[in-house]
Structure 1
């Protein structure tokens, strides 16, 4: 039960974070965190597209370092081949800082 609450809180926070970062490109329709399996599943509707894309982040890590929180994605797989290439070249293994307002949520559930 605690893990489900944690996953739900992380899902809500990540949805807000990602939507704030991609608002020029589209929006997250659905996001689900599974902390036991260490994966995140997203459904994103990009502007100009009729069908949403499916995104799976496998082997993610949430890292705290010197008071800052980061999300590290080891593998990103999407339903669009060209986005898989972009993810491999620019996102894989990159740390993304989690803004303080969302990091506070993490502190409560981790």
Structure 2
């Protein structure tokens, strides 16, 4: 999340963004530090890895799913999300981008904060 993203969050206070997934401890801590530094903790939550009932709850309560990857071989999250009926927002490097686009499941966007938020 960059300063631009923090401004967009400030411009849209009612929205809640959940960062879901795991990574190395340093990366996750940088995400949490960035949220705290920009003061957007009320609208951005770093949930980490979710599974089972928690994953079902997150998908049930969401209104869209974003996968803004730098690189994604398959993107198992895409077919899991399709089952929920959520709109998918993804970048052009996600392997299943053509499936999303060809089946009108969502949209492909540039990986910029303004486009993703």
Identify, as 1 or 2, the structure richer in strand. 1
TM-score (norm 2): 0.26
TM-score (norm 1): 0.27
Q: Which has the higher contact order (CA 8 A, sep 6+)?
A: 2
